């Protein structure tokens, strides 16, 4: 990896850091201002749902516009949304200003993430893609971990308005870093945007709806036309289902069933982050066959899920949890590498946006499953039944994948 490319990954880190500060701080501040847990939950829902729904639209735009421009505009918009929202709160004190900030920043973040994915494909096409994805995931992971930590520290010394203002500078600094990286190394790339379609040049909602619906239909058709990709998509959905069930149930299991302290609970999450970082560095340094990577990750996650479901003491649960969180990152790199390999570049954006939406649906479904069934079944039983289904289903999908590859 060239030295100048550290500017790109630094930009990703700073942007993710600011995004996670907002994601962490808004529900917390809403609860502190109102004392209403329902409003805090509503704030989290409002700031996360638009992120998922925006990915397919963002993917379509990434196929017709220059991805760098999308990221740059997104970061400038986010740096404007925060002060405008704070100004609105200053004149009319309402927590809905905070929810609006979080929702709009979340939508802009989805566009930026989707565009960065396309930049990775276009600007790093001469590098080993798994290595590029490892560095990208590492920067993303560090931002996700340090964001809540930094937000907590800021709130000790500053009020929440000042803490959110810091995010403006982080977004602008991220944009400066990305812009310099683009100027010094990527202007010579033969990456050109298409002309804006006629449907998008007129301010008519029916025209826009027709254009985006046609593009998304092409994306669905592209996915269905790739027999090697469909089983992997279903396996990814299963992985995200296990991950969602684990995250939704780890607090009651680890602190309730196994009676571990809050500090031990925090240590569990810290160890998971450290293992993820080690795995990502290992992928970056050591080339691994793509299909072996996917198989290893899927098997490790299933073993980890069985350990968490059958564990009778906290140490076995800890080991299983670490396997799930750590190797989920490896499977993510496998999936991203495979879709880059299989999907034509002209349809990669719209197809990837749909795939990200599909994969992310699994985690809210997992939380809903725990909420609905926890009163009837033991939480570990729910994990066990889900894991057994995923194992059997995974074996069938793997067999189909092997046959399709041989053909």
pLDDT digits (tens, 9 = 90+) for 300-334: 999 998 998 888 888 898 999 899 988 988 998 98
pLDDT at 113 over 80: yes
Are the CB atoms for 342 and 229 separated by under 8 Å? yes
Average pLDDT, stretch 174-187?
83
172: pLDDT confidence band, cut at 50, 70 and 90? Answer: very high
Environment class of residue 391 by beta-carbon count within 10 Å: exposed (0-12), middle (13-18) or buried (19+)? middle
Average pLDDT, stretch 182-209?
66
Domains along the sequence of the chain with CATH: 5-183 (1.20.1250.20), 225-406 (1.20.1250.20)
| pLDDT confidence of residue 377 | 66
Residue 314: CB atoms within 10 Å:
18
Are the CB atoms for 83 and 168 separated by under 8 Å? yes
Are the CB atoms for 58 and 176 separated by under 8 Å? no
pLDDT at 190 over 50: no
pLDDT at 43 over 60: yes
Are the CB atoms for 174 and 68 separated by under 8 Å? no
pLDDT at 140 over 80: yes
d(CA 195, CA 210): 18
| pLDDT confidence of residue 15 | 93
Contacts of residue 27, defined as CB under 8 A and 6 or more positions apart, other chains included, come to 40, 41, 43, 44, 47
Q: pTM for the whole thing?
A: 0.80
Closest CA to 359 of 338, 383, 373, 388: 338
90: pLDDT confidence band, cut at 50, 70 and 90? Answer: confident
Q: Would you state the structure tokens that stand for residue 159, as one six-digit string?
A: 């009020």
Average pLDDT, stretch 129-147?
86
Contacts of residue 219, defined as CB under 8 A and 6 or more positions apart, other chains included, come to 56, 59, 60, 347, 350, 351, 353, 354
d(CA 74, CA 378): 44
Q: Would you state the structure tokens that stand for residue 365, as one six-digit string?
A: 């479904």
Residue where the block lists tokens 């140490």 = 315
Please tell me the least confidently modeled range out of 31-45, 192-206, 350-364: 192-206
At 238-271, the pLDDT tens digits run 888 888 888 777 777 777 777 777 667 767 877 8
Please tell me the least confidently modeled range out of 2-11, 95-104, 308-317: 2-11
Average pLDDT, stretch 346-370?
79
pLDDT at 173 over 80: yes
d(CA 57, CA 247): 28
d(CA 329, CA 143): 15
pLDDT at 406 over 80: no
Q: Would you state the structure tokens that stand for residue 17, as one six-digit string?
A: 């850091």
Please tell me the least confidently modeled range out of 118-122, 331-335, 370-374, 399-403: 370-374
pLDDT at 404 over 80: no
pLDDT at 73 over 90: yes
Residue 23: CB atoms within 10 Å:
22
């Amino acid at each position: 990896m060239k030295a100048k490319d550290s500017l790109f990954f630094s930009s990703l880190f700073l942007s993710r850091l600011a995004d996670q500060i907002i994601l962490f701080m808004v529900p917390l501040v809403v609860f502190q201002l109102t004392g209403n847990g329902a409003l805090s939950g509503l704030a989290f829902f409002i700031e996360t749902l638009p992120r998922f729904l925006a990915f397919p639209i963002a993917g379509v735009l990434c196929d017709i516009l220059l991805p760098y421009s999308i990221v740059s505009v997104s970061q400038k918009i986010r740096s404007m949304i925060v002060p405008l929202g704070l100004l609105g709160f200053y004149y009319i004190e309402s927590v809905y200003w905070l929810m609006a900030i979080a929702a709009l920043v979340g939508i802009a973040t989805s566009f930026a993430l989707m565009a960065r994915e396309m930049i990775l494909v276009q600007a790093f096409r001469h590098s080993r893609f798994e290595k590029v994805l490892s560095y990208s995931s590492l920067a993303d992971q560090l931002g996700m971990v340090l964001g809540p930590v930094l937000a907590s520290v800021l709130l000790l010394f500053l009020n929440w308005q000042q803490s959110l203002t810091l995010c403006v500078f982080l977004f602008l600094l991220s944009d400066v870093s990305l812009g310099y990286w683009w100027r010094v190394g990527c202007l010579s790339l033969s990456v050109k945007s298409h002309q804006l379609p006629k449907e998008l040049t007129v301010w008519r909602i029916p025209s826009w709806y027709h254009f985006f619906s046609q593009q998304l239909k092409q994306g669905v058709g592209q996915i269905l036309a790739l027999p090697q990709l469909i089983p992997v998509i279903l396996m990814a959905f299963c992985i995200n289902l296990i991950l969602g069930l684990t995250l939704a149930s780890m607090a009651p299991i680890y602190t309730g069933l196994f009676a571990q302290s809050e500090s031990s609970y925090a240590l569990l999450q810290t160890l998971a982050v450290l293992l993820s970082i080690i795995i990502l560095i290992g992928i970056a340094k050591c080339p691994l066959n793509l299909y072996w990577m996917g198989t290893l990750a899927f098997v490790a996650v299933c073993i980890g899920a069985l350990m968490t479901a059958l564990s009778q003491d906290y140490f076995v649960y800890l080991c299983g949890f670490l396997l799930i969180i750590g190797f989920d990152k490896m499977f993510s790199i496998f999936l991203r590498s495979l879709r880059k390999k299989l999907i034509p570049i002209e349809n990669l954006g719209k197809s990837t946006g749909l795939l990200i939406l599909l994969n992310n649906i699994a985690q809210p479904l997992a939380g809903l499953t725990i909420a609905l069934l926890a009163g009837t079944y033991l939480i570990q039983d729910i994990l066990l039944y889900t894991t057994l289904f995923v194992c059997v289903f995974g074996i069938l999908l793997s067999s189909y994948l092997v046959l399709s590859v041989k053909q």
